[in-house]
Structure 1
Amino acid sequence: MHNQEPQVYKWLVKSGSILLFKDSDKIHLELDKETSESCLLTKEDAESLISIITALAEAIWNSPGYIKEPYQGQLFKTADELVYWDLGQPTLYVGFNVNEQAIAINYSGDAVLKISVNYAVELIQILTHFCKQFGV
């Protein structure tokens, strides 16, 4: 039996760090916000994060035995220039911090986030959208 260690990404961003890896049929997302309320991402940080999440979601999608869930429509909600996903216990928030010129990513609750492929696709789209805010 071939035991393969999961690829773990710990990405140091403008403020804080983000830990990502494939956990069965979900993406494990954990934030270390250090001294800030949110992890802050530069445009380059966000582009790298998009690439990592895309690779992890693709690996899950192409896994033998993965049961593909059809996309049932928009999963995120918006409020006050923030995009958020209610994931049960935790809520994931993404927005653009104009003062810091950075994308802010945060979640409520102490739980580690486990994101399905459909949520990951929306997160990629939202991060891509906020990348367009840089230099405006």
Structure 2
Amino acid sequence: EGCPGCRLCEIKCPEGAIRAVKVIYGSLRINTELCPEGCRDCVDACPIPGTLSVGPDGKVVVNEITCVYCGACRLVCPVEGALELNRTYIRHEPIKSGAWNKALEKLTSPVRLTRELVSKSIEKGHEVVEKRLGWIVASRS
């Protein structure tokens, strides 16, 4: 429970004893030509360590092996169209239920999907603001 499906545990396990299964599959593309110089809002908002990073050329790089396609990066991106997120498959047992299908639809929306990860992203956001502006965010608990 609480596993975001990023597979970091599988990647980091030196014995290869862990087998993690992604729940959501898709793709995340970043048009770095549209990214403002020095912007790393998506990197800071991403709840999965190492999924988004800044390469040696200063451009954001995506590690799709660990990406859970939660949409947190897209929600904080200041430039429309710089991030393209597509969810192509959700692993689940087929159920012929209108209620389940509606729930599944809600789960695939970026806002709903990020709820599990949002508290971590908010914490990261506060740290970024503190680091960049040098003051403590008043609403931080």
Q: TM-score with structure 1 length normalisation?
A: 0.25
- Rg comparison, structure with higher value: 2
Structure with greater proportional helix content: 2
Structure with greater proportional strand content: 1
Q: TM-score with structure 2 length normalisation?
A: 0.24
